[in-house]
Amino acid sequence: MLTLDPEDSLDFLRTARMATYVFLISGPTLHLWFNFISKLFPKKDVVNTLKKMALGQAVYGPIMKSVFFSYNAGLQGETLPEIIARLKRDLVPAITSGLLYWPTCDLITFKFVPVHLQMSTTTWSLRSLKWMASPAASFQPLLPASAPG
């Protein structure tokens, strides 16, 4: 069960922005991306899996992170110069932190999951977008505050 700490509250506007992003942008583009990449590299051997991973990290990831930051900033009322400043400030750290996470997800997805199920296996990991978008959580492990270490 999901619960909030007493000092936290649910931000309905942020939730609506994220849900809209996933349903209108992320979902359709992931569907197209996985179909495209599977036609480009149809085999599931190690070499083709590594090619799919590299292409995803070099092309799809940076583009979609740019779209995500721009979309989110635009819906929060930021101007074009503010959005550009946000991209200059946040894009490289987001890509860098994503390199610690997404290649493992890509390896599992491209090597073991049939193409028609790949999008659904990726959506479970979209919570990392929240993690990467939160400055307070950057490069911190996802552990409860009371966890040792």
Backbone torsion region of residue 77, taken as left when φ is above 0, otherwise alpha when ψ lies between -120 and 50, otherwise beta: left
Which residue ranges make up each domain of the chain?
A: 16-137
Confidence bin at 138 (pLDDT 50/70/90): very low
- The answer to whether residue 129 scores a pLDDT higher than 70 is no
pLDDT, position 145: 41
Read off the DSSP letter of residue 113.
Answer: S
- The answer to whether residue 121 scores a pLDDT higher than 90 is no
* Structural contact between residues 94 and 69, judged by C-beta atoms closer than 8 angstroms: yes
| CA dist., res. 102 & res. 89, Å (int) | 21
Phi and psi angles of residue 78, each rounded to the nearest 5 degrees, phi first: -75, 145
100-112 mean pLDDT:
84
- The answer to whether residue 48 scores a pLDDT higher than 70 is yes
33-49 mean pLDDT:
93
pLDDT, position 5: 65
The more confidently predicted of residues 63 and 108 is 63
Cα–chain-centroid distance for residue 58? 14
Q: Rg of the chain's alpha carbons, rounded to an integer? A: 17
| CA dist., res. 89 & res. 129, Å (int) | 16
| CA dist., res. 97 & res. 111, Å (int) | 22
129-137 mean pLDDT:
49
| 51-68 pLDDT per residue, tens | 999 999 999 999 999 999
